Amino acid sequence: MLKHLKTGLIFFILQFIIVKAILADNVSISATVDRTTAQVGETIILNVEVKGAQGISPPRINIDGAEVRQGGTSQSFIMNNFQTSISINFRYFIIPLRAGKLTVPKITLQVGNNKYSTEEIELTITDAGSQQAPQKQSQPSQRSQDKQSSKQTTQKPTEQDFIFVRAFLSKNTAYVDEPIVFTIQLYYMVHIGGDIKYPEIKLPNSFVKEQLPVEQSKETTYQNKKYYLLELKNILIGMEPGNYTIEPVALHVPIVVKRKRVGDFFDRFFDDDFFGFTEVIDKVLVTPALKLKISQIPEEGKPPNFSGIIGNFNLTSKILGTVADDNTPIKYHLTFQGSGDLDSLVLKSEPDFGSYFRVFVDKVYKDVKKDGTGIHGKKTFSYLLIPKVKGKLEIPTLKIPIFNYSLNKYVTLTTQAFKISSNITPSVVSLKEIEHQKQLKEKGVEFKRDISFITDRWVERNLYLPIKFVKYPYFILNLAIPFYCFILYL
């Protein structure tokens, strides 16, 4: 019995080696489609068949102007008259996004040390009017209305009367760092059989994209017809100037349709609406391509001390308290409020509070909302001001130049001045020296800014204590005591 098992095992191993050797010499790859002509949004099935190889991963396929989704993988093994053949079939779904000529590129696979490729496949794609919004009809004359009244009663509704998609940008021209809202609107009066996911939007690397939460569908009216409206919105921010194209987007909508039944009278009887034989199909709607121009802010009129802030903002300031002492600094809040990219709003240089204050950067507070109108809210920069001298002082007016894209020009935002009282113990620097430095600064003499970040003073004082302690000879002698005891023990 054991002898027969060994013989069978050896025969199986030899057969496996022979089959593998035979297959290695007969590897081939081919690609076919179920059709070469289709409309925008219609699905084309691509089959890639690999013969004579095993353990092959599905190749990645990219087609310019189309969305490619991977389907399933099947494998077959056939033995006929001691001749063995094995094949792997990869299925893909191609969804054209624009009309014209599309090309399925060469698909290359490497098996062992050899590479195998398919031939290119040309596809012809035509427009699909049923996916876009219905065309608005011009108002006919009274005479033409009388002639067409009978035709309108027999005119059958088309697919675009039940479901269609629209897409638009909040503006077609914008400046760098200016938020733009890209909206996809789905109008439908059919039954949706599942969740609608955000479609993939292909953008250049110079764009920042953020998806907004999907709101529930709402009832609306379009061309005197009632629809349900679902909006999918993204905020786009262009970081580099140039002319761009927002490529067509494929929106997959699971809709419920009546299942077709054919057969005898029994089948047709159960095909009645009462029994509710339905199925969910994947309806693909394609948005049109959109043009977008991103411009650099103008150099003409740019202030030499431009802050780099771009947006429709106003500036406010306030202080928390008007009296400063040794333990209580003045907290100063500088708030930008309005619409713009508040997330990336930063101050390139700290505000100049004059020579009478030491300035510490405290915190940054942010209250930002993102919705269909863009990005808006406020951002507050907090500072701690510690007077250097005692007496009545004034926190000066701050002037921060920005570029307002709503006004299309540079504007200077200004804060108000504040009067405070200082009861702080004077520092080493006297008021006379401060006035002298101020006069020199007005003459063009530059001084190092007295602005610091808040730190732990105890850490600063004690950070190098261990290093200083090492310098003492007693420390070195203490380290030598264990070695001395060890030598005496021996």
CA distances from 276 to 216, 261, 271, 436 (A): 26, 12, 8, 92
465 is a domain residue: no
Indicate the length of the chain as a whole number.
Answer: 490
pLDDT score at 70? 86
- Residue 140 domain-assigned? no
Q: CA torsion, points 433, 436, 438, 442, in degrees to nearest 10?
A: -160
Is 420 a residue whose pLDDT tops 60? Answer: yes
pLDDT higher than 80, residue 335: yes
Q: Are residues 373 and 451 in the same domain?
A: yes
The residue ranking higher by pLDDT, 149 or 487, is 487
Same domain for 268 and 336: no
Q: Say whether both 290 and 313 belong to one domain.
A: no
Residue reference for tokens 């008021």: 431
Last-in-domain residue among 236, 262, 294: 294
The reply to whether 151 falls in a domain is no
In the predicted structure, residue 230 carries a pLDDT above the cut 90: yes
Q: Are 87 and 169 part of one and the same domain?
A: no
pLDDT tens for 430-439 read 555 555 555 6
Whether residue 362 is found in the same domain as residue 263: no
Q: Is the pLDDT of residue 192 over 70?
A: yes
Identify the weakest region by mean pLDDT among 89-98, 292-301, 394-403: 89-98
**Environment class of 428 (CB within 10 Å of its CB; exposed 0-12, middle 13-18, buried 19+):** exposed
User: pTM for this one?
Assistant: 0.69
Quick check: is 394 in a domain? yes
Tens of pLDDT, residue by residue over 273-321, are: 555 578 888 888 999 889 999 999 999 999 998 999 999 999 999 999 9
Q: Same structural domain for residues 283 and 172?
A: yes
How remote is the C-alpha of 369 from its chain's centroid?
16
Name the residue among 307, 279, 324, 310 with its Cα closest to residue 419: 324
Domain end residue (candidates: 260, 294, 328): 294
In this structure, are 30 and 97 located in the same domain?
yes
> How many domains does the chain divide into?
3
Return the HEC string of 77-114: EEEECCEEEEEEEEEEEEEECCCEEEEECCCEEEECCE
Q: What is the CATH number of the domain that holds 23?
A: 2.60.40.10
What burial class does residue 377 get, using C-beta atoms within 10 Å of its C-beta: 0-12 exposed, 13-18 middle, 19+ buried?
middle
Pull the structure tokens for residue 400: 């921060």
82: domain range?
17-126
Do residues 175 and 277 both lie within one domain? yes
Residue 5 lies in a domain: no
Strands (E), 149-258: 163-169, 173-175, 179-188, 207-211, 218-222, 225-238, 242-246, 250-258
The letter for the amino acid at 422 is S
Which one of 268, 294, 320 terminates a domain?
294
Task: Mark whether 398 and 324 lie in a shared domain.
Answer: yes
Give a yes or no: residue 152 inside a domain: no
Q: Are the beta carbons of 230 and 163 closer than 8 angstroms?
A: no
DSSP for 135-166? PPPP---HHHHHHHHHHHHHPPP-GGGTEEEE
Q: What pLDDT, on a 0 to 100 scale, did the predictor assign at position 257?
A: 84
What is the CATH classification number for the domain harbouring 309?
A: 2.60.40
Confidence of residue 464 (pLDDT cuts 50, 70, 90): very low
Same domain, yes or no, for 308 and 432? yes
Burial group, residue 411, by CB count within 10 angstroms (0-12, 13-18, 19+) = middle
| Cα gap 193→281, rounded to integer Å | 8
**Cβ atoms within 10 Å of 381's Cβ, excluding its own:** 20
Q: What are the pLDDT digits (tens) for 108-165?
A: 888 878 888 889 999 999 886 545 555 554 444 444 444 444 444 445 667 777 899 9
Least confident of 16-30, 176-190, 307-321, 458-472: 458-472
| Type of residue found at 174 | A
pLDDT band at 399 (very low <50, low <70, confident <90, very high): very high
Q: How much of the chain, in percent, has pLDDT values that exceed 90?
A: 39
Instruction: Share the mean pLDDT of the chain.
Output: 79
Residues 171 and 285 in one domain: yes
Please indicate, yes or no, if residue 136 is contained in any of the structural domains. no
Domain presence at residue 228? yes
Average pLDDT over residues 383-404: 93
Q: What gap in Å lies between CA 276 and CA 259, rounded to an integer?
A: 9
CB distance 129 to 71 below 8 Å: no
Residues 317, 341 share a domain: yes
Angle (CA) 259-262-265 rounded to 5° is: 115
What's the rounded mean pLDDT across residues 23-41? 82
* Neighbour count for residue 124 (Cβ, 10 Å): 13
